[in-house]
Structure 1
Amino acid sequence: MASKRLLSLFLAAAILASASAATKVTLTDKLLDLIRTKKMDGFVAELQRDDMDVNQPDSKGRLALVEAVRTREIKFVDALLQYGALAKSKDPATGTSPVQVAFQLNQVQIARMLLQYGADINVEDKSNRKARDFAPSKEIRELITAYDKDGSMAFEDAPGTWTKQSKESKEEYWFNAKTGESRWTTPASCGWQRVDVQGHPIKYVNTVTGQQTTSVPPALAWVKIKKGDKEMFYNFKANMSQFETPLEVPKEMLEIIEKNKNVRWYNEKTGEFAWIDPTYHSIWRELEDEETKKSYWYNVETGESTWDMPEAMAWTKIKDDESGNHFFHNRLTQESTWDAPSHLAWVRHDSDL
């Protein structure tokens, strides 16, 4: 009796699981049908269902986002991205990515939107073809060039584009004052976070696109400046200023920015000014190995690590006990000099602009 009861329970659970899976597939089938027939109202209604998973393939292994690209209608693509569709996904049936289809169809604006949300032009389909293999126009080739240079970051909205609003709404939403567009989901340019782990190089991660970089992205390149009796925010990557608080910057970073007005660095040898701490100008970081407690050097651009001190890191600044002045010592050649190498001639320069 016990074994029969267990078997019955097992079969019941299997039937429920099967029914649940079938429901998901049915929902996705309907969604794709609405996309192909371009019925926007019904499409939006389906997206709003609590049990809708836009990344679930239909019964034929097709993805909603890929089919939306095929319609050449950017509004379908945008809606799916806002409801959580993954721009870097691949169609299970063919391995085709949404951006590959956009390139093939020469849909520049759709391709740009997908790249903005983290699409990867280097993923291969089941025929070993990549999106970058399809460049039917100058505009598509320009997208490829921009992607190769800066990744998804190249397609983000300009810093300061998005603000948070809560008018007539219980929850905050993002608002684009330039276009009048509103959205609940985080825009790609507002997804950056600074990751600072002791003993590791600082890096920046975009929670929307997944992109990582060791140099500060434009969205976070804000400082607070004071000019006369006016205070404002200045973005040194985009060379723009505004009085409004840049809300794409995480709260903890904003607090630091607010405290440090007009903080910049001056190179006494070259006459240059910099907004970024010169410590981070070099591609090398001196770190400590947790096991041996010895120093090693990490290249933030290539990911290379080495026990051998790079020449660029050889010079160090040392205070002379007798005079109280600083001299500079080369740890590789053992040379010492009072004359600062250019890359060590930086001093903090806090003053009104």
Structure 2
Amino acid sequence: GAMAFEDAPGTWRQFAEGSRNYYQNTENQESRWAVPPSCGWKRHERKQAGFGEGVPGEQQRQGEGEGKLFVYTNRVTGQVSWKIPPALSWKFVMHRDQHRAMWYNYATKRLQFDVPGELPNDLVDELMDDANSFWFNEHTGEMRWDKPSSLAWKRVRGDRGGAFWFNEVTGKTQWEEPVDLGWKEDFSHAKNEKYFWNRFTGEASFGKPEAVAWTLKKEL
């Protein structure tokens, strides 16, 4: 759901009037000039912190934000989050057999036709350029809109030195390298086929493990 002091994603629409924007509540039709808390989020790149993605082998295809570490700040409430807030968790979706595009919030499962008022203009443009992209797991058959947590690990340099691992989906932090990043691909001459093994757990699999079986696709 929404973060503290915020309305649920999709509650507000944003309109321009002259050089200013105003906001309209889709539930009670309230109009206001003041920015609602859920519309106050901005995304910033923390350039000095990231060492890049910790993703094995062919899983380097990360789509938007590859190798970047973002922090999210709310100019109304003062909140700071390293995880993407629900207010910004939108995807732009257009089925080929439909004439109108839709916006889907994968944090709250909300679907709507209007551009969400919570999204800054730069994110609207970015999401429209990235229309219909989704993640598919060839091991489980699962489809999801947001980045899988097994691919969301980033190594971060602390402000006072040292480094730790941060998962931008779950918000988890840890010092040791994540087990998901331990998978390596090798070849078995005895069976004449490739296999995968995890250098941390010793586990081996001839099928691609779930953690590294994700592929970013562009069409529904």
Q: TM-score, structure 1 length as denominator?
A: 0.46
- Classify the secondary structure of the residue corresponding to 1:194: strand
Alpha-carbon distance in 2 for matches of 1:254, 1:244: 12
Does the 8 Å CA contact 1:162/1:176 hold for their aligned counterparts?
A: yes
The alignment-based identity, stated in percent, is 33
The letter of the residue matching 2:15 is Q
CA RMSD of the aligned region, Å? 3.4
Alpha-carbon distance in 1 for matches of 2:151, 2:129: 27
Corresponding position of 1:330: 198
Larger Rg: 1
In the alignment, structure 2 segments of 5+ residues that lack a partner are: 51-68, 188-192
Corresponding position of 2:132: 262
Please state which structure has a larger fraction of its residues in helix: 1
Does the 8 Å CA contact 1:223/1:257 hold for their aligned counterparts?
A: yes
Alpha-carbon distance in 2 for matches of 1:283, 1:213: 19
Corresponding position of 1:204: 72
Q: Could you give the per-residue CA deviations for residues 107-135 of structure 1, whole angstroms, max 9, x where no partner exists?
A: xxxxxxxxxxxxxxxxxxxxxxxxxxxxx
Q: Could you give the per-residue CA deviations for residues 284-327 of structure 1, whole angstroms, max 9, x where no partner exists?
A: 7342659xxx9752366677552x323343225x587xxxx975
Alpha-carbon distance in 1 for matches of 2:107, 2:75: 21
| Alpha-carbon distance, 1:244 to partner | 1.8
Q: How does 1:1-353 map to 2 (within 5 A)?
A: 153-166=3-16, 171-198=20-47, 199-200=49-50, 201-227=69-95, 228-230=97-99, 231-278=101-148, 281-282=149-150, 285-287=153-155, 289=157, 296-298=164-166, 304-306=173-175, 308-316=176-184, 318=185, 327-333=195-201, 337-352=205-220
Does the 8 Å CA contact 1:224/1:233 hold for their aligned counterparts?
A: yes
Does the 8 Å CA contact 1:232/1:242 hold for their aligned counterparts?
A: yes
| Alpha-carbon distance, 1:177 to partner | 3.3
Q: TM-score, structure 2 length as denominator?
A: 0.70
Please state which structure has a larger fraction of its residues in strand: 2
In the alignment, structure 1 segments of 5+ residues that lack a partner are: 1-149
Does the 8 Å CA contact 1:286/1:295 hold for their aligned counterparts?
A: no
Alpha-carbon distance in 2 for matches of 1:305, 1:184: 42
**Higher normalized contact order (CA 8 Å, seq sep 6+, divided by chain length):** 2
Alpha-carbon distance in 1 for matches of 2:186, 2:45: 29
Does the 8 Å CA contact 2:83/2:171 hold for their aligned counterparts?
A: no
